[in-house]
């Protein structure tokens, strides 16, 4: 160890850079294993990060996700996510499927189904949306507008989606009222015309 | 990319939106690391996400401009977090809360920001090095690899010097990574015990 005091400071600086380099260079698998080895959950670390970015961007009028800007109003964008999440859950439960069942039938990762249902910041990829429309035998592009991948969203549309999401209570079996709610909402999605601008 | 060497706000936003799970995980670990390096922040209730949020905000607002694509966004945010406490004269700029600002400025990391700034900083640097060394107690090979990297040696040089196969080096790198994770999540100075 060097005795010169300024060298001690430099030494720490170099050590710190080297230490962090092992993180920067780590593969996803090694990173996940290291996080798990210390009793932490790598998935929650990523989810928290996304939520933080979403929050910070939302304050500035941006929305997080890979689909680019859709509704200018972030609240509306989040409403769409809520709507998609609630709709997928209800449709899945209507069929009596688990997340794993749905993932298998739609040929997508079960993690993606889980994130669609529970992560309000998650933007599913277009293939998954298409697959889900096929599995649930929905008219084409019924889910696309909720996924955030399509431009043009009126305030009325977002309001309707939010009303649906709020009413879609989480119970193990759909009751008659929920079935009616679900059917009406699917009908609304498949018949309402996409808006070109804000209403 | 704009003609300017720095990323525009829109480019920063796009890059933030495109961060992968792996990059989010790295940022969280690095934020925890910098928080631990400023132990007084921990005492004052600042969390790793506060540091990261501050770095993202400063980048979005152009206070810390990102040299994209020369520097990856994760590395850029790492360096912003590192220097987050160097804002003594910018209180009230609305970027961070007053409480966080005061905590950050109060805990300025002298050893990193002002290398010639007196005995206290040097003592702190010495103590920090000793903490890292204690973290590696029982794994002298990993510590040697880390020290070699700190001297600027490439992986191939280190393998030659320490007579490690490629596989052995990869294993050591994983152990160092775990030490880094451990460093960030241990409460207080627990890792010294």
Q: Which residue of A11, A31, A38 is in closest CB contact with B26?
A: A31
Question: Which residue of A43, A49, A60, A64 to mutate against B (max B Cβ within 10 Å)?
Answer: A49
Say what the pLDDT of residue A79 is.
67
Instruction: Name residues whose C-beta falls within 8 Å of residue B166's C-beta, 6 or more positions apart in sequence.
Output: B159
pTM beyond 0.80: no
Min Cα–Cα distance to chain B from A95, Å: 31
Cβ distance A38 to B181 less than 8 Å, yes or no, reads yes
Min Cα–Cα distance to chain B from A34, Å: 5
Cβ distance A11 to B129 less than 8 Å, yes or no, reads yes
Q: Which residue of A18, A52, A60 is in closest CB contact with B146?
A: A18
On whether the CB atoms of residues A43 and A114 are closer than 8 A, the answer is: no
Q: A114: alpha, beta or left, given left = phi > 0 and alpha = psi -120 to 50? A: alpha
pLDDT digits (tens, 9 = 90+) for B177-187: 999 999 887 65
Q: Which of A44, A46, A43, A72 is nearest to A58 (CA)?
A: A72
Say what the pLDDT of residue A191 is.
72
Residue spans of chain A under pLDDT 50: 1-3, 64-72, 170-172, 196-199
Say what the pLDDT of residue B74 is.
95
Question: Per-residue DSSP letters for B84-119?
Answer: TT--TT-TTSSSS-HHHHHHHHHT--HHHH-TTS-H
pLDDT in tens, chain B (193 residues): 444 588 888 889 889 988 999 999 999 999 999 988 887 776 677 788 888 999 999 999 888 899 887 889 999 999 999 887 444 333 333 334 444 444 444 444 433 444 445 777 788 889 889 989 999 999 999 999 999 999 999 999 999 999 999 999 999 999 999 999 998 876 554 443 3
pLDDT digits (tens, 9 = 90+) for A129-178: 888 988 988 877 778 777 766 555 666 676 677 667 666 654 445 667 77
Q: Which residue of A22, A52, A65 is in closest CB contact with B177?
A: A22
Q: A118: alpha, beta or left, given left = phi > 0 and alpha = psi -120 to 50? A: alpha
Cβ distance A18 to B174 less than 8 Å, yes or no, reads no
> CA A148, CA A150: separation in Å to the nearest integer?
6
Min Cα–Cα distance to chain A from B81, Å: 12
Q: Which residue of A23, A46, A62 is in closest CB contact with B180?
A: A23
> CA A48, CA B125: separation in Å to the nearest integer?
31
B146: chain A residues, CB-CB within 8 Å:
15, 18-19, 22
On whether the CB atoms of residues B107 and B38 are closer than 8 A, the answer is: yes
SS3 string of chain A? CCCCHHHHHHHHHHHHHHHHHHHHCCCHHHHHHHHHHCCCCHHHHHHHHHHHHHHHHHHCCCCCCCCCCCCCCHHHHHHHHHHHHHHHHHHHHHHCCCHHHHHHHHCCCHHHHHHHHHCCCCCCCHHHHHHHHHHCCCCCCCCHHHHCCCCCCCHHHHHHHHHHHHHCCCCCCCCHHHHHHHHHHHHHHHHCCCCCCCC
């Amino acid at each position: 160890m060097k005795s010169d005091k300024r060298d001690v400071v430099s030494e720490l600086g170099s050590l710190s850079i080297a230490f962090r380099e092992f993180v920067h260079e780590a593969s996803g698998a090694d990173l996940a294993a290291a996080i798990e080895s210390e009793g932490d959950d790598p998935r929650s670390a990523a989810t928290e990060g996304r939520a933080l970015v979403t929050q910070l961007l939302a304050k500035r009028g941006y929305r997080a996700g890979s689909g680019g800007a859709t509704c200018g109003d972030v609240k509306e964008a989040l409403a769409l996510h809520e709507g998609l999440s609630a709709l997928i859950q209800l449709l899945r439960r209507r069929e009596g499927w688990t997340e794993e069942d749905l993932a298998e039938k739609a040929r997508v990762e079960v993690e993606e189904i889980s994130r669609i249902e529970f992560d309000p910041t998650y933007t599913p990829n277009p293939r998954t949306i298409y697959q889900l429309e096929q599995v649930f035998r929905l008219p084409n592009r019924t889910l696309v507008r909720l996924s955030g991948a399509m431009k043009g969203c009126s305030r009325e549309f977002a309001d309707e989606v939010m009303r649906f999401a709020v009413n879609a209570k989480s119970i193990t079996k759909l009751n008659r009222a929920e079935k009616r709610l679900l059917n009406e909402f699917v009908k609304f999605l498949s018949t309402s015309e996409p808006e070109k601008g804000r209403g | 990319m704009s003609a300017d060497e720095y990323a525009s706000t829109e480019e920063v936003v796009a890059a933030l939106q495109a961060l992968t799970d792996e990059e989010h995980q790295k940022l969280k670990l690095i934020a925890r690391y910098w928080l631990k390096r400023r132990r007084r922040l921990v005492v004052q209730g600042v969390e790793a996400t506060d540091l990261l949020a501050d770095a993202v905000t400063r980048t979005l607002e152009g206070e810390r401009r990102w040299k994209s694509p020369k520097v990856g966004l994760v590395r850029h945010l790492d360096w912003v977090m590192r220097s987050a406490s160097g804002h003594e004269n910018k209180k009230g700029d609305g970027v961070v809360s007053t409480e966080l600002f005061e905590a950050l400025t109060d805990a300025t990391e002298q050893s990193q920001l002002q290398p010639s700034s007196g005995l206290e900083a040097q003592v702190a640097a010495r103590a920090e090095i000793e903490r890292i060394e204690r973290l590696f107690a029982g794994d002298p090979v990993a510590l040697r690899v880390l020290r070699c990297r700190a001297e600027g040696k490439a992986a191939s040089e280190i393998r030659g010097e320490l007579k490690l196969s490629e596989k052995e080096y990869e294993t050591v790198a994983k152990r160092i990574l775990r030490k880094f994770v451990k460093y960030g999540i241990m409460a207080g100075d627990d890792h010294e015990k």
